[in-house]
Structure 1
C-alpha cells in the first residue's frame, strides 16, 4: 500500500464545500462514538448500519457519500478497537478511551463518490456536497495504476491549502543487492544518530532555528485576538485568522523539514546496510522531562523509526528494535557497567581501559543486542504490524507515513 499526495486547486466555493464535508464526517464519527457509548455489544458493522440512520435523520449527513459516511464510522471503530486492545494487553497507565473529535482536517472516500479525469490530472466528487471538479497538482503519475487499485481517496485541509491523498494497493517490496553490512544506531540530542562504524549525523534542530520567527508570529496572532468576541461567541476578525494561518504555516514548514530529513536519512541507512539495530525508545515517556521535552520533540526520533521500518520492509532489510536499558552504561569491550551522567560524553572503562565516545559505545552495544535477537519477532513502532501492512484505511490526523518523495 502506497499513498500519493497531490495539492488540489479549485474555487473558494469548492473549498467551503470541502470544509462542510469534513465537518459532516466529524459529526458522523462523533455520533457513532456516542452510539457505542450508549449501547452494549456494538460492533464495527453496527456502526456502519448506524450511518444510514444518521443520513435519514439529518439532511446534511445524507448529502455526504454513503461510503464516506462508512469511512467516518470506521475511524470511530478504529479508536474503539485500539482501546479494547490496550485493555486486553493490560497496558500501563491510561488505556486511550476514545474521545470526541473537535478539529478534524480530512474526509475520506472509499471506492465511490469520485471520478478521475481521462488524463488523471483532475478529480470530480459526485456527492451532494458540491465539491465538484478539482485540479491535481503534483509530480506523481496515476496512469501507472488501474482505477480498481485506488482503495481510498482523502481530502485534507492544511495551513497552506487542500490536498488529495490516494491510497493505492500495490506491492511495495523492491529487490536489492545485499551490502553485507550491519550497523547499530544510537539516537541522541547532540548527534541525531551515531552508528557502530563511527559515523555521526548532527541534529537538525529545525524548530530551534525557526523558534524566533514562530514566537513572533504567535505574538502577532495574540494581539489580534479579542476576548470580548470570544465571550460573546462572535467570530474573530479577518486579520486574526490571517495571522493564525501565517503562524500555522511556519509550524507546518518545520514539520515538513523534519519529516523530509528523517525520511532521507532512514533511506540512506537502509540502502547502506542489510541489518539495522536501533533503540526501542519510549518517546512518549521521555518528553515528560520538562528540561528536554522541546529538544526531544524537535529531534523526531519516532518519525525516523517509522521511516526506517518502512524502508526496511520495502527493500527487504532487517530492522531490529532492542531495549535501550544500559546501552550507554555498559562497556562494549568487556560488558561491565560503567556509571556515567548525561553530561559525561566519553566512555572510560575502569575494568579494561577501553575509551570511546559515549554514543559510539552505545551503538556497538545496540548492534550486539540486535544481532543476538535476529530471528525473533520484530517490534514495530506502530504495534504488532507496521502501518503499511494494516490495510487501506488512512489515519484521520491528516498525515500518512508512507507518502514518499518522488526520488525515493
Structure 2
C-alpha cells in the first residue's frame, strides 16, 4: 500500500524581462488595493450588521469592480480571487484567536510594498500557469525564464510568484507528490541546540554553528551607514536600500541551506530524533541572546527537521525543555550552573562532561522515560 501524497514547496528563481516585471509589479499594487478594500468591507459590514461578510459575496463585488476599473481587469482572475482567500484567512484567524481568549489586533491593511506575492491557483496547460519550453508560462504575463535547479517529481498544483525585498523574483511551486520513505531505522538520538555549537547530539557529536549573521555584521553596518547618508527619496538611497536587502537575503539563504543539509543528514541517519519543545518567542526577549538565537534559526530548523522526518517515515519527538542542562545525566542530581559554565562537573558521581553533551543525553533519557 503506497503512502498518501503530500504537498511540498519548490522555490525557483525567475527572471522576468522589464515589461513582465512592470506588469507583475502593477499586479502587486492592484492586489494590495483589492486586499485592503475587501478587508475594509468585511469590517464595515460586521460593524453594521453584526454578521460576517462571506467570500462568495466579495467575489460578486470583485466582478463588479472588474467592470468599473481597468486595472483590476488586467490582473488574472485566479490571482485576483486568491486575494479574497487571504482576507478570509486573516479574518478567520482573528476571530479564532478572539474565541480562544486572546486579544489579537485586527487584521492590518497592507501598505506600499507590503503585498509581495501573487498566486495562480491552477497549474497546467491552458490554466493560469504552466511550463512551456523549459520556461514558466504565466497567463497575461507570458513566458518567463526560470532556473529549474531541482527536478520536480510530482504534479504542480499551485504557483506563487514572489518578489523579495532585494527585488529578486521567485516562483514557489506547490507540488503534490508521494513521499520517499527511508528503510526502517530504530536508532534514537537526543539533540540539544545551542549558540556556541549549533547542536550537540547525545553521542557527543558536535555540529558547528556557522553564525552567518555574525560573520556579516561588519558588512551590514557599512551598508546601513551608507543608506543613512543618502537623501530620502533619491535614486541613490533606493540603490543603497537594495544592496542592504540583498545582503540580508544572502544571509537568509545561507542559513536555510545549512538547515537543509543538517536536517537531511539527521533524518537519513536516525529513526527518531528527540528535541526540546523550545518557546523561542519567549527566549528572544532576552536581549543579550536574541541576536544569536535569531542567527541560529532554531525554530526554522526544528520545523524543517520535523516535516522531513514525517515525510521519510521517521519521527521527531519534542520533550518539555526543563532541567536538561542542570541535571546530571548519570546520577540525576541537580548541578546548578549559569551560561558561562561550559563543563558539567557533578560533585555527587564525578561525571565531567561538556554541558551541551550532558543536556543532549538528558533529552534522550526523557524520551525513553516517556
Q: CA separation in 1, counterparts of 2:196 and 2:62?
A: 51
| 2:116 aligned partner | 105
Q: CA separation in 2, counterparts of 1:97 and 1:328?
A: 40
Q: CA separation in 1, counterparts of 2:63 and 2:348?
A: 71
Kindly state the Cα deviation for residue 338 of structure 1 after the two structures are TM-superposed: 2.3
| 2:346 aligned partner | 349
Indicate whether 1:337 and 2:339 are aligned: no
| 1:230 aligned partner | none
Consecutive unaligned residues of structure 1, counting only runs of 5 or more, are: 227-235, 374-408
Question: Conserved in 2, the CA contact under 8 Å of 1:82 and 1:96?
Answer: no
Question: Conserved in 2, the CA contact under 8 Å of 1:175 and 1:316?
Answer: yes
Query: Which of 181-190 and 81-90 deviates more?
Result: 81-90
Indicate whether 1:114 and 2:124 are aligned: no
Indicate whether 1:258 and 2:269 are aligned: no
What aligned pairs does 1:198-217 form with structure 2 within 5 A after superposition?
198-217=204-223
SS at match of 2:287: coil
| 1:139 aligned partner | 149
What aligned pairs does 1:137-216 form with structure 2 within 5 A after superposition?
137-141=147-151, 145=154, 149-158=155-164, 159=166, 161-171=168-178, 173-216=179-222
SS at match of 1:167: strand
Q: CA separation in 2, counterparts of 1:44 and 1:197?
A: 53
Question: Conserved in 2, the CA contact under 8 Å of 1:190 and 1:203?
Answer: yes
Q: CA separation in 1, counterparts of 2:325 and 2:316?
A: 20
Q: CA separation in 2, counterparts of 1:329 and 1:51?
A: 59
**TM-score normalised per structure 2:** 0.88
Query: What are the Cα deviations for residues 345-396 of structure 1, in whole angstroms up to 9, with x where unaligned?
Result: 12223333333221111111211223344xxxxxxxxxxxxxxxxxxxxxxx
Going from structure 1 to structure 2, the CA distance change for 1:56 and 1:351 (only over 3 Å counts) comes to farther
Q: CA separation in 2, counterparts of 1:338 and 1:19?
A: 58
Kindly state the Cα deviation for residue 59 of structure 1 after the two structures are TM-superposed: 3.0
Going from structure 1 to structure 2, the CA distance change for 1:48 and 1:275 (only over 3 Å counts) comes to farther
Going from structure 1 to structure 2, the CA distance change for 1:8 and 1:339 (only over 3 Å counts) comes to same
What aligned pairs does 1:270-281 form with structure 2 within 5 A after superposition?
270-281=267-278
Q: CA separation in 2, counterparts of 1:372 and 1:75?
A: 43
SS at match of 1:352: coil
Q: CA separation in 2, counterparts of 1:319 and 1:3?
A: 20
Residue 246 of structure 2, aligned match among 249, 252, 277: 249
Q: CA separation in 1, counterparts of 2:128 and 2:66?
A: 19
Query: What are the Cα deviations for residues 263-287 of structure 1, in whole angstroms up to 9, with x where unaligned?
Result: 1111111111000011111111111
Kindly state the Cα deviation for residue 87 of structure 1 after the two structures are TM-superposed: 3.2
Kindly state the Cα deviation for residue 48 of structure 1 after the two structures are TM-superposed: 4.1
Higher relative contact order, chain-length normalized (CA < 8 Å, sep 6+): 1
Kindly state the Cα deviation for residue 202 of structure 1 after the two structures are TM-superposed: 1.6
| 1:70 aligned partner | 81
The number of equivalent residue pairs is 353
Kindly state the Cα deviation for residue 155 of structure 1 after the two structures are TM-superposed: 1.1
SS at match of 1:116: strand
Kindly state the Cα deviation for residue 137 of structure 1 after the two structures are TM-superposed: 2.1
Q: CA separation in 1, counterparts of 2:129 and 2:345?
A: 65
Kindly state the Cα deviation for residue 160 of structure 1 after the two structures are TM-superposed: 5.0
| 2:138 aligned partner | 125
Query: What are the Cα deviations for residues 120-158 of structure 1, in whole angstroms up to 9, with x where unaligned?
Result: x1233334xxx332122222345x55xxx3321111112
| 2:36 aligned partner | 30
Question: Conserved in 1, the CA contact under 8 Å of 2:132 and 2:143?
Answer: no
SS at match of 1:204: coil
Kindly state the Cα deviation for residue 49 of structure 1 after the two structures are TM-superposed: 4.3
SS at match of 2:286: coil
Going from structure 1 to structure 2, the CA distance change for 1:334 and 1:114 (only over 3 Å counts) comes to same
Q: CA separation in 2, counterparts of 1:260 and 1:109?
A: 27
Indicate whether 1:9 and 2:9 are aligned: no
Q: CA separation in 2, counterparts of 1:177 and 1:195?
A: 22
Question: Conserved in 2, the CA contact under 8 Å of 1:48 and 1:74?
Answer: no
Q: CA separation in 2, counterparts of 1:56 and 1:305?
A: 48
Question: Conserved in 2, the CA contact under 8 Å of 1:28 and 1:54?
Answer: no
SS at match of 1:268: helix
Consecutive unaligned residues of structure 2, counting only runs of 5 or more, are: 1-6, 46-50
